[in-house]
Amino acid sequence: MTTPPFPTTRLRRLRGSAALRDLVRETEINVRDLIYPLFIVEGNHVQQEIGAMPGQYRWSVDLLPWEIEKIGAFDIPAVLLFGVLEPSSKDEIGSASWDDHGIVQEAIRTIKRAAPELVVITDVCLCEYTSHGHCGVVKDGRVLNDPTLELLARQAVSHARAGADIVAPSDMMDGRVATIRAALDRDGFADTPILAYAAKFASGFYGPFREAAASTPQFGDRRAYQMDPANAHEALREIELDIAEGADLIMVKPALAYLDIITRARARFDLPLVAYNVSGEYSMVKAAAANGWIDEQRIVLEILTAIKRAGADLIITYHAPEVAQWTVSSKQ
């Protein structure tokens, strides 16, 4: 295709009015494509704001129906659950994570009772449950891969048993998707899909989340299992392997600094592609907006549009409820 030169072609013609711009817009943010993360804590009557993530809270299970009703009214189709434990509930292997009456398991039951049609996705990882804060079993200062797999599988099965619609391993151990798939199938959950945090980078953008989930490693960092931010070919291999092991949906995380990975994954793989607009991306916007340095609504919609334009089908974002409010009011 050749575009005839100016003055025959004037690209500004289609930008002349809001109606024309609307007509030719290529990418649209739809609340039905957003997934909202929720932090669940022990105790009763707890709604605790997360310091580093203004507007986000830790909820005790008893208050969830109230929050879920709000999410349902916003038309948000899915939530992603994280458990946040007191230090006294943690141990070396994160055994609270596969307790059938653990906080995430109880949260799943409570949500499915309150809103059966809301898709409940659970983060499957050990870091929120281990005393050392790493995503796997630790021996001699190293995170062991193979002994971690069975523990992740136990946790995933326990979530499925409680009624989770999708389980989402975020640990970055090799072979976890296959192990979890086999365990789910063996225990009668052949129909429970796996959303693999397939290309998950060792990122500074998780900082605020670690405050939210109290999951900062007590020694070292996660670079021996999460990916090097410099590597794109390796990210595609990670995704390919997770698909080969049985992933039903794939994820790139974080989103904003990794749009190239999203675009390349979109071109190469046909599974539903999820991008995680992570805590640091959220908190930076909130901090700048609080200082009056940016127009928050405009920036958030621009960021989410960019993530979609790059190729994501679904976006996990802490902004989901505010986006729902903005998009409703813009149609009125």
Catalytic residue chosen out of the listed positions 200, 286, 308, 331? 200
CB-nearer residue toward ligand PBG: 98 or 206: 206
d(CA 248, CA 195): 6
* Cα dihedral 179, 133, 41, 301 sign: negative
Using the minimum distance from each CB to ligand PBG, give the nearer residue, 60 or 279.
279
In the 8-state DSSP scheme, what is residue 201?
A: B
For tokens 């979109």, name the residue: 266
Q: Which is nearer to ligand PBG, 129 or 326 (CB)?
A: 129
Nearer to ligand PBG, 127 or 236 (CB): 127
| Beta carbon nearer to ligand PBG, 148 or 170 | 170
Task: Write the single-letter amino acid at 232.
Answer: A
Residue by residue, DSSP assigns 97-147 as: GG-TTSHHHHHHHHHHHH-TTSEEEEEE-STTTBTT--SSEEETTEEESHH
- DSSP 3-state percent helix, strand, coil across the chain (nearest 5): 45, 20, 35
Q: What is the dihedral of CA 323, 327, 329, 332, to 10 degrees?
A: -170
Minimal distance in Å, beta carbon 9 to ligand PBG?
Answer: 43
**Phi first, then psi: what are they for 286, rounded to 5°?**
-60, -40
For ligand PBG, the binding residues (CB under 6 A) are 123, 125, 127, 135, 170, 206, 209-210, 222, 278-279
CB of 134 to ligand PBG, least distance (A): 9
Q: How far is the CB of 6 from ligand PBG (least distance, A)?
A: 45
200 in active site? yes
Q: Tell which residue, 316, 282, 243, has the closest CA to residue 33.
A: 316
From the CB of 127, what's the least distance to ligand PBG, in Å?
A: 5
CB of residue 207 to ligand PBG, shortest distance in Å: 8
| Residue 262 to residues 176, 192, 244, 275, 314, Cα–Cα distance (Å) | 22, 25, 19, 7, 11
How would DSSP label each residue in 65-101?
A: HHHHHHHHHTT--EEEEEEE--GGG-BTT-GGGG-TT
Q: In the bound complex, what is the minimum distance in angstroms from residue 15's beta carbon to ligand PBG? A: 35
Residue nearest to ligand PBG (CB): 209
Catalytic residue from among 90, 112, 253, 286:
253
Is 253 an active-site residue?
A: yes
Instruction: Compare residues 123 and 238 and give the one whose CB is closer to ligand PBG.
Output: 123
Q: From CA 284, how far away is CA 113, in angstroms rounded?
A: 35
How far apart, in whole angstroms, are the C-alpha atoms of residue 285 and residue 293? 10
CA dihedral 161, 167, 171, 173 (to 10 degrees): 90
- Least separation in angstroms between CB 37 and ligand PBG: 7
Closer by beta carbon to ligand PBG, 127 or else 183: 127
Could you list the active site residues? Answer: 200, 253
